[in-house]
Homo-oligomer: A and B are copies of this chain.
Amino acid sequence: MVDLKAGREEFSARFFVESSYPIERVSEVIAGEQSSGTFISLPGESAELNERSRARVVSIDPLPETTGASLYSEFLSRRNPSDKYYRGEVAIAFPTANIGNNIPALLTTIAGNLFEIGEVSGLRILDLELPERFAAGFQGPRFGIEGTRALCGVHDRPIIGTIIKPSIGLTPEQTASVADELCTGGIDFLKDDELLIDPTYASFDARLKAVMPILHKHADRLGRMPMYAINISGSIDEMLRRQDAVLAAGGTCVMLCLNWVGHSAVEHIRKHAQLPIHGHRAGWGALTRYPQLGFSFEVYQKIWRLAGIDHLHVNGIQSKFWEPDDSVISSAKSCLAPFAGIQPLMPVFSSGQWAAQAPVLFNKLKSVDLMHLAGGGIIGHPLGIAAGVQSMREGWEAAVQNVPLEHYAEGKPALSAALQKFGGV
């Protein structure tokens, strides 16, 4: 990824591009728009300026043409109306000197005005590659998978967790009461809903004050501290103060609504935080659900990995959300895959999860480095919360030992009851 000719260090991004103009032409427009190439040059300076700052098209892989535009563009309607739209995957290399270790600059370069270019009727960022030396200038996760496991006291199996429900509306005392039940049941991890931050009737401070004694009580009993991802999202000053309050109270995790807190805020919390950052992706659907626009999860997780979060939500398989299972698994794999020397993220599966999803997940993911959050699968278990947690663990034991669930459930009331109530996969 170093352009030897120009003697410069580069990073590269790969895009899906669609246009009524040939992809070669549009790729040059994109490379120009996102660097120094679309304007009159200064006399005598252009070669040198281009060498230091101009992006270059590295490769173009054509895809089959289509007859309709994915996205409307008045520019194309006026200048190049067509019943043929070219498509391709385009890799573009940018000099790292243009941006430095600045995430807003990185995103403005790979995901800025290019989505609005008149010549494109489809544009999606698919991947991002950084040289390791350059990537090392970003913070990356502080705790990651191993640090999280150490704080949870859970090794060699998934971290089993849940979300405190109802999502929002509980008083601090009710929240503590639900947490108490969950910890009594042996849960490893519990979290606030992403909606729950600082409502007037259950402020962050009141919630922390009510829940922490419960966690300590169970930590004494269990010999490990249940991890509580308390949602600290808000202003910079609030988030810093809340992180400190969680740390002082003996908590072991903070949660952020990544998209709506934003990149500079997450980096700032990472810089100051002494606890793992549980990243919720609320709003992500708007960035990804139309396949010819926006972001792939691959790029999304890489950016947040650079910013320094530790856990990232990936939906669940067979969930209540729109996303196909293959897409969920692919997201989790990308969290676990190597990226420019930055340590992996712990993927968080949630929504409609229960014990029988363990073998499916394990067969596809080939890893136990994950958080598996079940709501109804734990709280709705016919033998109670403890049996719900137990059934999740037994599901994973069966998965890892490659024993069919029905066999493994023999003599195990928790898993048996789960299979009976929630049905086969």
Contacts and interface: CB of A to CB of B under 8 A. Distances in A.
Interface string A302-345: 00000000000001000111111100000000000000000000
A73 interface: yes
Contacts of A262: 260-266
A105 interface: yes
Nearest to A295: B286
Interface residues of A, number: 99
A168 B39 CA distance: 10
A115 interface: yes
Interface in A236-274: 236-239, 257, 259-268, 271
Interface in A96-127: 97-100, 102-109, 111-118, 120, 123
B197 A166 contact: no
Interface in A211-255: 233-239
Contacts of A375: 39
B73 A322 contact: yes
B116 A321 contact: yes
Nearest to A48: B169
B261 A100 contact: no
A403 interface: no
Contacts of A289: 71, 115-116, 293
Interface in A6-40: 34-40
Q: How many of these chains are in the complex?
A: 2
A309 to B, nearest CB: 13
Contacts of A53: 166, 168-169, 199, 201
Contacts of A105: 195, 197-198, 233-234, 257
Interface string A375-387: 1000110000000
Given A53-B168, A265-B265, A71 B197 contact: no
Nearest to A38: B167
Nearest to A166: B36
Given A166-B49, A264-B261, A74 B174 contact: no
A130 interface: no
A74 B322 contact: yes
A113 to B, nearest CB: 6
A198 B263 contact: no
Interface of A: 34-42, 45, 49-50, 52-54, 71-76, 97-100, 102-109, 111-118, 120, 123, 165-170, 174, 194-195, 197-201, 233-239, 257, 259-268, 271, 282-287, 289-291, 293-295, 315, 319-325, 375, 379-380
